[in-house]
Amino acid sequence: MILVTTELLAGHRVIEVLGLVRGNTVRTRHLGHDIMAHMKNLIGGEVTEYTKMIAESREQALDRLSAEAEELGANAVLCLRFASSEIMPGASELLAYGTAVRVEPLES
């Protein structure tokens, strides 16, 4: 599956637009991570526990988006974007969305 943030895919032409696809995940804070984050706030530096959590969330959302695109018969997703929102205090959603398409390489 080809995932790009652009409207076009260099060296390919879109042969069919299949529609909007998305993948999301909702995560809550973890008490142990919150304690470490507060300690980092005192001394400064990256909060690696949250960096890892958001990276895992992005991968899970992309995996779900890719699965939905494959179900439609797509081999690429164009205009890929991410959005996030707070669902409730301590819980956030990460959403990946884009346009599922079928592409083929341009002939040389």
pLDDT in tens, 29-45: 665 555 555 555 566 67
Q: Which two tokens stand for residue 68?
A: 């939905």
- Between 69 and 89, whose confidence is greater? 69
Greater model confidence, 1 or 32: 1
Across the chain, what does the average pLDDT equal? Answer: 89
Which SS3 state, helix, strand or coil, does residue 52 take? helix
Domains of the chain, start order = 2-28+55-105 (3.30.110.70)
pLDDT value of residue 51: 84
For residue range 72-108, list pLDDT tens digits in order: 999 999 999 999 998 888 888 999 999 999 999 998 6
Report d(CA 59, CA 69) in Å as an integer.
15
